[in-house]
Structure 1
Amino acid sequence: MIALLLRDLRLAVRAGGGFGLGLAFFLIVIVLVPFGVGPQSDLLTAIAPGIFWVASLLAALLSLDRIFALDFEDGSLTLLATSPLPLEGVGLIKALAHWVTTGLPLTVAAPALGFMLVLAPEAYSYLLLSLLLGTPALSMIGTFGAALTVGLRRGGLLLSVLVLPLYIPTLIYGAEAVRRGAEGLDPSGALILLGGITAGTFAILPFATAAVLRINLR
């Protein structure tokens, strides 16, 4: 499993592998929003939690179609399906590799960009914590969606349509945790629910991903 993770990380950092694409998109969205909204600091402060989470969600979408597509095209996915490594483990490792190359970089970068959206100082720690808790769920849900559309021509649009509704609870509770933290309220309820969503996705979706892959590889 470690060898598969390292392989996926090496593929991601190669030219065209998708590494940095999500982070670059995230940075562009955060930088452009103040230009569109204008110099209204109160408005920027109010919408900052939602903007950060929407940008994170969209950034995660950009590289989802690469999770299984390259392995399917060169036959590696078939070999993985017949290897001693269970497909549940393959799905889990694919999700982890996607998070390391997409979710983790934007999680680290987000607090440094808080000043662009005039994020309340009290919200910085909750922004970081919510992204750490929630972005792994985005990767695991996206991996399941990528397994559903593997082998389909132009499956990227279908993948987005399938995955976006599943992202909504994570988006709601992630933004709510940051908003409550910015207003000096207790965000623990939203953070617990966010962590529960992530734990639930990692408990259930690797098995669903493996089942879908077995069907698509027949």
Structure 2
Amino acid sequence: MIALLTRDLKLAVRAGGGFGLGLAFFLIVVILVPFSVGPESVLLSRIAPGILWLGALLACLLSLDRILALDWEDGTLDLVATSPLPLEGVVAVKSLAHWITTGLPLVIAAPVFGLLLNLPAPGYVWLILSLAVGTPALSVVGTFGAALTVGLKRGGLLLSLLVLPLYVPTLIFGAELARRGAEGQATTTPLLMLAGITFGAIALLPFASALVLRINLR
């Protein structure tokens, strides 16, 4: 499993779906928002948590089609499916690799981008916490969507349409957690809901993804 994780990390970076692409897209979103809503610092402070979470979500969405597509094209996915490794574990490792190359850099860079949107000082800790708790769910759900569309020609658009509705609960509670933290309000409820979504996705979706892959590989 460690060798598979190392391989996926190297492939993600070499294929252009790694650290740089997600961060660049995240930065573009953050820079364009003040141009579209105006430079008012009060308004930017109020909408900063939602904009940062939306930018992180869209940045994660960019590289979803690369999670399984490269292995499908070169036949690696067939070999892995027939190997002694459990397919559920393989899917979980690919989700982890996607999070390390896409989600983790966004978590680290989010405070810097928060400065551009005048995020209130108390909100930085909660922004990092919300992204750290919520972005793993984005990777796991995205892997499930990639398993559904693997092998389809031009499946990237279909993948986005399938995954975006599943991302909505994570977006709602993640942005709400960051907003409440920035405003000094109670954060227990959105934190528990966000953690529940993430842990539920991690516990269930690898099995669903493996089942879908077995069907697609027949």
TM-score, normalisation: structure 1: 0.98
Counterpart mapping for 1:58-137 below 5 A: 58-137=58-137
The equivalent residue for 1:17 is: 16
Task: Tell me whether 1:50 sits opposite 2:56 in the alignment.
Answer: no
TM superposition shift of 1:17: 3.3
The equivalent residue for 1:212 is: 212
TM superposition shift of 1:35: 2.0
2:95 and 2:143 in contact (8 A); partners too: yes
Can you give the 5+ residue segments of structure 1 that lack an aligned partner in the other structure? Answer: none
Structure 1 ranges of 4+ moved more than 6 A: none
Task: Tell me whether 1:154 sits opposite 2:166 in the alignment.
Answer: no
The code of the aligned residue for 1:213 comes to L
For 1:59 and 1:217, the matched residues in 2 are separated by: 29
Task: Classify the secondary structure of the residue corresponding to 2:185.
Answer: coil
The superposition leaves residues 12-38 of structure 1 with CA deviations (integer Å, 9 ceiling, x where unpaired) of 121x33112111101111122112222
For 1:113 and 1:145, the matched residues in 2 are separated by: 28
The superposition leaves residues 36-89 of structure 1 with CA deviations (integer Å, 9 ceiling, x where unpaired) of 222111111111111011101100110000000000000000000000111100
The equivalent residue for 1:198 is: 198
TM-score, normalisation: structure 2: 0.98
Task: Classify the secondary structure of the residue corresponding to 2:143.
Answer: helix
Identical aligned pairs, as a percentage? 70
Structural RMSD (CA)? 0.7
Can you give the 5+ residue segments of structure 2 that lack an aligned partner in the other structure? Answer: none
TM superposition shift of 1:115: 1.4
Number of residue pairs matched by the alignment:
217
The code of the aligned residue for 2:4 comes to L
